[in-house]
Chain A
Amino acid sequence: MVVSIKIASAAELEQLRSRIVAGHDPDRLCVVTSVGTCGLACGAGEVADALSKALADFGINDSVDIRTTGCHGFCEIEPVVVIYPERILYQHVTPEDVPEIVSESVVNKRVIERLLYRDPSTGESITHEQDIPFYQKQKRLSLDNNRLIDPTNIDDYIALGGYSALAKALFKSQPEQIIEEIKKSGLRGRGGGGFPTGRKWESVRNAHSYDGVRYVICNADEGDPGAYMDRSLLEGNPHSVIEGMIIGAYAIGAHDGYVYVRHEYPLAVQNVTIALEQAREHGLLGEDILGSGFDFDIKISRGGGAFICGESTALMASLEGKIGEPRAKHIHTSESGLYGRPSDLNNVETWANVPLIINRGADRYSQIGTEGSKGTKIFSLVGKINNTGLVEVPMGMPLKEIVFDIGGGIPNGKKFKAVQTGGPSGGCIPESLIDLPVDFDRLAEAGSIMGSGGMIVMDEDTCMVDVARYFVNFLTEESCGKCVPCREGLDRMLDILTAITEGRGKDGDIELMEELGETIKDTALCALGTSAPNPVLSTIRYFRDEYEAHIQKKRCPAGVCKSLITFTIDEEKCTGCTVCAKECPQGAISGEKKEPHVIDQTKCIKCGLCRDNCKFDAVIVS
């Protein structure tokens, strides 16, 4: 229930908080389903519906609370149901499991063994959410509240101390002090650039604006393949972002804010819209916030599906209703940004960190992390990894710990090959650098970038030339096309890479790509272009032998590039079970029952179905 009472002072906020906390019994049973986009895709919506129905059927819907939250982070085991107060976690729950969960666990307090999470390394089942190794090694400062908050209910956020940082900022600090605090915390932009947030705020505050108008903008145009931490924060805990923005606006002296969010994130748009309305009803947005005399409001602007609009000048052009393409940034957006006024643009995660810093103090915040990178960072761990999900770790944690201790290593006993960080413009970090501490500076030294925090793990079956081709293809399509090096350069780079993967590579192609890559890096107009050659340059740097194998020996060592591989059947291993012949969509496999089968190379389209379905490893890729 949302109570539409305007909070007129900091004291009233505290009173409301005490009322909410007092009205909530911590020992009361509560069944939590995570219904972020990842959960919904796995059927969590149906599970949540089945839960409320089952509780009603058992007649206990008055004594048991039900809560739907955003993503908890461990997307691999969705749909997840957690029973409070004990925090019993059930994984891969289907609507059919729900009556049993209610009758056994909720009513009779018995644990259902088969739905528990099993540690893949030990095989042991784990009953409580907090004991799962995936969560234990993390430091979830900004993500942890996702599991406790119904994003559509502001009371949940207020109960956990929400908006207390805002009250502290408005009534106990001067704007300059807040900026000083953020500077002291060492917070750097989480969207990719890593620019010190405090310094950015300061320059926006001090920049000349002819009519005094300044803007704060939240960049939620998250477009990197495999990255979704901003989505998860907006869906699961939108008030933390809003609170950060209000504090930022107060520090900067802005009265208008925008959230530029992807149209492709409908749930995030919906939850932020609800959160903004509730914040307005409570007097936390709009005129005279908390009775402080400070006015600020936020509008939502939905992006039109262009990756480039995550770039600051393109984003602002798009907000103004123009074509989303970047301009030269010799005059920074902090001086002349949206509508020519000083504008502060920060990423979702950066904004969500602001209330944490104000509440805990800069000193406590800056104790976490490394020399140049403070605090925690959320990474989306995806690809060939056992524990797919969002992980929040202190800056400087070695890559090895993230991939193996939290991520649980590579599935099916395959060997780790590389991890691609920083989205399409990032680079590939090879196994030899697995001990690399992950922070802004060390990643840059290794030829990659922090980016917004995507981590795509690759195993031995991944062809690095093919990976580079995939990312260059993505960037060629997403380049705005304004400047020549990015538009034409990436297009020609893609041509060369395609030729190499199709066996048409020539001697000198690697050197040409290096020269072209360096040219694009040096001369492109915006950060998309200047970082676009990273996937190619970093894979050439660490996996040159693979490029050479493709070009000189016309061989794909990982067995991925279709033009360079052939599928054959090992006569010794083949038992003649006929499964491959049945699976082959081309009818290319023939042979008698219990006799070795043969693949007709003229018909084979190298789809790999025979290899995937062979139980005897008899299909050889060479």
Chain B
Amino acid sequence: MVELTINGIKTRVFEGTTVLEAAQEMGTIIPTLCHHEGLTPYGACRICIVEVVKGDRSSLEASCTLPVEEGQVILTDSERVKKRRKVIMELLLSSCPNSKTLQDMAANMGVNEVRFTIKDRECILCGLCVRYCKEQMQSGGIGFVGRGTSRRVATAFGVTPEECRGCGGCEWICPVCERACTAGNLVNGLCGGCQNLVPVETCPICIGCSESVTPSGHRVY
């Protein structure tokens, strides 16, 4: 067992656990996009960053790929973390403004402007579909093509490969095309349909849109 401190609370977890899992185990919520508990950690979206404190210095690390260490001191919600997360959220929104998941998450974080050029790529390249296809379906029918801004998810040579069994898992797991934002107009990349622009005091925890509050409780990310 390894003992570490998350937000001032000591916890003991098995060796080999990630910081994200340790935090989730004690009920601390860290937002994630490219993480899924059934798939290998990937560390691409960087939204799950946490602050790792080492003496008087600290660094930011993606919690989904960070293994726990004895005596580790983690802050999941420090000012530095929140500030950096918001910029990453802005970048994500600017590249995929029509995603309801992203808009809701942005609202939860209090992102109320997108200062970057909107370039709708309709995909955040989180790789969930690629990993799902390979690891859960043992297929490998889809993969990444290209580098940098031309990187995209595709099948080989643009044709449906034999390996694809049409399971639909890639669509099911996608955080972006799962539900499109239904709001009519996006104002500077932000959805006008939720409470970014018109705050409603219905939710005691966040100012997220009303849809994130369900009868069973509050939906957080």
Contact = CB atoms under 8 A, between A and B. Distances in A.
Interface of A: 306, 308, 323, 327-328, 330-331, 476-485, 487-489, 491-492, 495, 512, 515-516, 518-519, 522-525
B142 to A, nearest CB: 13
Interface string B141-154: 00010111111000
Nearest to B87: A519
B179 interface: no
A133 to B, nearest CB: 43
B60 A523 contact: yes
Given A484-B124, A488-B95, A489-B91, A522 B151 contact: no
A524 B117 contact: no
Contacts of A484: 44-47, 88, 91-92, 124-125
Interface in B103-153: 115-117, 119, 124-125, 127, 144, 146-151
A525 B62 contact: yes
B43 A525 contact: yes
A523 B151 contact: no
A483 B84 contact: no
Given A323-B144, A481-B125, A518-B84, 13 more contacts: A306-B147, A330-B61, A479-B147, A479-B149, A483-B45, A484-B44, A484-B88, A485-B88, A491-B148, A495-B117, A519-B84, A519-B88, A523-B62
B87 A515 contact: yes
Interface string B53-82: 000000111100111000000000000100
Nearest to B115: A512
A512 B91 CA distance: 12
A590 to B, nearest CB: 41
A523 B46 contact: yes
Nearest to B146: A481
Contact of B84 (A479, A481, A482, A522): A522
Q: Is the interface of A mostly helix, strand, loop or mixed?
A: helix
A485 B125 CA distance: 12
A330 B87 contact: no
Contact of B65 (A328, A479, A519): A328
A480 B91 CA distance: 17
Interface in B29-45: 41, 43-45
Nearest to A518: B84
A331 B68 CA distance: 12
Interface string B181-196: 0000000000000000
Given A328-B66, A485-B91, A491 B147 contact: no
B20 interface: no
B101 interface: no
B23 interface: no
B125 A487 contact: yes
Contacts of A485: 46, 88, 91
Contacts of B44: 482-484, 525
A306 B87 CA distance: 28
Contacts of B22: none
Contacts of B116: 488, 492, 495
A515 B88 CA distance: 11
Nearest to B117: A495
Best-surrounded residue of A306, A476, A516 (most CB of chain B within 10 A): A516
B94 interface: yes
Contacts of A483: 43-46
